[in-house]
């Protein structure tokens, strides 16, 4: 898995909170049980003492196994007595055990084989939560993508929008299912409201679920963050946002071209695109601009990098958002 450091830290804090909550709840139950059943204090101490003696019995040599078996029988008897007392008081047998969210790793996130599956699932959910702050990631799936709003009739170029967008949707789905660090970059372009954001987020969903790091951002937010970071000059040893954009497994730049264009943003666009092409890291760019408009807004050097290094997907049809509002 190659999520960002921030994702790992957020997931780890959630795991630690689960464990802390489980142990605090256990302490509260213990206090309650000891008040209701005073004899439990003595039994718990006896079980703990027997366990400690069993550990030290390992060093007894030949006499060790027999002594350990004797201690185990005494411990089982004490545990049975504890169950009977809890049952008589109307309490469940596991009342004095910690109720962890994950009983495999006991909410540590780690097993003998490495990262626990609960930690993997939490990393996926945390990564999705981070993108969900800025875009409807969980609602943007391939299953929720519909072709019913695209006309079947051919347009002026003789192409059926419904047929073409069906091909693009299938291509994106195959791309997502086969996604790897060697996947090509995608250039999604076409008029507004044709599903570019939806399909790019659907790809992000699949990539995250398979353990890949994904950074998504609209161009205005992305470049304003880079500008604050650059001119704020708050440099430290922490990984910068620029590094995250350059190093993440998959970068999605949405709505390229709607940001306010400055010499700084043009420089950022070139640096990000060129650096990721050179390092062979897949990038998805979506824009409402045509390649010619993109060249007018930026430079021919940037446009040639995109045209030459990305697979072009031209979205066609009518603005779906407008159709839905009728």
Please report the pLDDT score of residue 326 as a whole number.
Answer: 53
Q: Are 285 and 310 in contact (CB under 8 A)?
A: yes
> What is the predicted pLDDT for the residue at 67?
80
**pLDDT score, position 299:** 87
Q: How far apart are CA 45 and CA 50, in angstroms?
A: 9
Residue pLDDT tens, the chain, 326 long: 578 888 999 999 999 999 999 999 999 999 999 999 999 999 989 988 988 887 777 666 656 677 888 888 988 999 999 999 999 999 999 999 999 999 999 999 999 989 999 999 999 999 999 999 999 999 999 999 999 989 999 888 889 999 999 999 999 999 999 999 999 999 999 999 999 999 999 999 999 999 999 999 999 999 999 998 888 755 555 668 899 999 999 999 999 999 988 999 999 999 999 999 999 999 999 999 998 999 889 889 999 999 999 999 999 998 877 766 65
Report DSSP letters for 68-104, one per residue. HHHHHHHHHHHHHHHHHHHHHTT--TTTTS---S-TT
SS3 232: helix
Whose CA is closest to 249, among 199, 140, 174, 176? 176
Those residues with Cβ within 8 angstroms of residue 166's Cβ, 6 or more apart along the chain or in another chain: 147
> Where does residue 324 rank: exposed (0-12), middle (13-18), buried (19+ CB within 10 A)?
exposed
Question: Domain spans of the chain?
Answer: 5-115, 134-325
* pLDDT value at residue 113: 87
Task: State pTM to two decimals.
Answer: 0.84
Span 134-325 CATH architecture: 3-Layer(aba) Sandwich (3.40)
Contact 253, 219 (CB under 8 A): yes
**pLDDT on residue 62:** 53
Is the CB of residue 275 less than 8 Å from the CB of residue 283?
no
pLDDT of residue 319: 81
- Give dist(CA 164, CA 297) in Å, integer: 28
Predicted local distance difference test score (pLDDT) of residue 239? 67
């Amino acid at each position: 898995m190659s999520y960002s450091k921030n994702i790992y830290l957020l997931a780890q804090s959630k795991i630690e909170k689960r464990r802390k909550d489980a142990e605090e709840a256990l302490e509260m139950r213990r206090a309650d049980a000891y008040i209701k059943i005073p004899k439990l204090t003595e039994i718990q101490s006896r079980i703990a003492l027997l366990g400690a003696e069993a550990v030290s019995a390992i060093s007894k040599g030949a006499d060790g196994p027999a002594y350990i078996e004797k201690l185990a029988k005494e411990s089982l008897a004490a545990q049975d007595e504890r169950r009977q007392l809890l049952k008589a008081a109307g309490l469940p047998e596991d009342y004095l055990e910690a109720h962890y969210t994950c009983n495999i790793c006991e909410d540590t996130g780690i097993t003998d084989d490495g990262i626990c599956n609960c930690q993997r699932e939490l990393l996926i959910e945390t990564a999705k939560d981070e993108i969900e702050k800025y875009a409807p990631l969980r609602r943007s799936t391939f299953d929720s993508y519909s072709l019913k709003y695209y006309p079947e009739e051919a347009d002026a170029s003789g192409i059926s929008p419904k047929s073409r967008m069906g091909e693009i949707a299938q291509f994106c789905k195959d791309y997502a299912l086969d996604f790897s660090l060697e996947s090509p970059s995608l250039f999604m372009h076409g008029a507004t409201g044709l599903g570019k954001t939806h399909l790019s987020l659907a790809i992000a969903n699949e990539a995250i679920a398979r353990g890949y790091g994904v950074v998504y951002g609209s161009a205005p937010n992305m470049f304003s963050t880079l500008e604050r970071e650059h001119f704020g000059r708050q440099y430290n040893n922490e990984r910068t946002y620029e590094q995250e954009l350059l190093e993440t497994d998959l970068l999605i730049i949405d709505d390229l071209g709607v940001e306010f264009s400055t010499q700084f943003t043009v420089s950022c666009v070139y640096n990000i695109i060129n650096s990721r092409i050179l390092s062979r890291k897949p990038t998805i760019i979506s824009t409402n601009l045509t390649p010619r408009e993109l060249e007018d807004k930026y430079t021919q050097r940037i446009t040639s990098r995109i045209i030459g290094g990305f697979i072009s997907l031209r979205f066609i049809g009518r603005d779906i958002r407008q159709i839905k509002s009728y």
